[in-house]
Amino acid sequence: MSIEFENVSYIYNPGTPMQAQGVKNVSFKIKEGTFTALVGHTGSGKSTIMQHLNGLQKPSSGKVKIAGYELDSKTSDKGLNQLRKKVGLVFQFPESQLFEETVLKDVMFGPKNFGFSEKEAETQAKKWLKRVNIAEKLFSKSPFDLSGGQMRRVAIAGVLASEPDILCLDEPAAGLDPQGKKEMFQIFKNYQTEGHTVILVTHEMNDVARYADNMLVMDGGELAISGKPKDIFKDSEWLAQHHLSAPSAVEFGHQLQNSNFKFDTLPLTVDNLADSIIDNLKEGPHE
């Protein structure tokens, strides 16, 4: 289930004084089963790209090919329901979309809209609530009685319960404590290894380094670059030009390289970095 953007441009409020370019001539491909990070600073067009994935926005020009659908400026809203079943979107602070009387009902809401039977929806909801670590005794509670972190997990279960082929998340861990964040990312990484495509919209380069196979960098509504994190993070000057920081491990690695360390491949994570440091030290002096 690959994703392809062909020369996609999107203009907000065309023909009014508020007209604004969302994205311009964006083309890229995402392979099935990969973990892709979509990065760029605020206002770079990331969320416009995200909303093109399930037809919430349709290209003003160009084409989006996703999950067997082709979206262009003429695509009508009718029939997009099944696309939205295949492409799950988790927006920033998704807990603000909860509305049902009970946790279980809220998680069943999506699957039911997508044509699951009552029973199937319940089975799916229970399965995913357990996987996001919500205790069974909370299923019948009002979602508004839960803690912020729990609400977040319920909202995410509400999207996962339909088991979309493609899952796109916008800053899913914002505001969570370190432990909550770690658990959250483990869930997404597992979802990918089970054969789904995951797209993560984020500012946090450490998360990108840790989890993503590919990255797309947006800047000023255009795709600045796409590729593997280890290639993109190499060029710190280029990153700075595009208002991006490097992951901490990369930054630290650069400092070591400026002195007497040599790395064959750029260490992206703490673990990589520690291994590379030890290898360097074993190889003996470089001066």
Interface residues toward other proteins, by CB under 8 A: 17, 41-43, 51, 54, 56, 77-78, 81, 84-85, 88-89, 91, 94, 96-99, 109-110, 112-114, 144, 147-149, 158-159, 162, 174-180, 203-206, 243, 245, 248-249, 252, 255-256, 259-261, 270-271, 273-275, 277-278, 280-281, 284-287
25 vs 224, beta carbon nearer other proteins? 224
Min. distance of Cβ 213 from other proteins in angstroms? 22
Alpha-carbon distances of 68 from 53, 87, 104, 191, 275, rounded to whole Å: 12, 11, 31, 21, 43
What is the spatial distance between Cα 142 and Cα 102, in angstroms, rounded to a whole number?
A: 4
Distance CA(171)–CA(50), nearest Å, equals 12
CB 105 to other proteins: min, Å: 11
Name the amino acid, one letter, at 282: K
Q: Which is nearer to other proteins, 7 or 240 (CB)?
A: 240
Cα–Cα distance between 130 and 200 in angstroms, integer?
A: 22
Q: How far is CA 115 from the centre of its chain?
A: 25
| Closer by beta carbon to other proteins, 25 or else 252 | 252
Closer residue to other proteins, CB minimum distance, 8 or 168: 168
Q: Which residue intervals of 53-204 are DSSP H helices?
A: 81-86, 103-113, 118-131, 148-160, 178-193
Name the minimum Å distance from CB 226 to other proteins.
Answer: 21
The CA distance from 63 to 116, in Å, is: 30
Q: How far is the CB of 87 from other proteins (least distance, A)?
A: 8
Q: What three-state secondary structure class fits 57? A: coil
For residues 35 and 114, which CB has a smaller minimum distance to other proteins in the complex? 114
Are 185 and 125 in contact, with CB atoms under 8 Å apart? no
Give the residue with the Cβ less far from other proteins, 182 or 193: 182
Q: To the nearest whole angstrom, how small is the minimum distance from the Cβ of residue 77 to other proteins? A: 5
Q: Cβ closer to other proteins: 63 or 254? A: 254
For the bound state, the minimum distance from the C-beta of residue 18 to other proteins, rounded and expressed in Å, comes to: 10
- Could you tell me the smallest distance in angstroms from the CB atom of residue 57 to other proteins? 9
Distance CA 104, CA 98 (A): 11
Distance between CA 265 and CA 234 in Å, rounded? Answer: 10
CA distance 163 to 140: 22
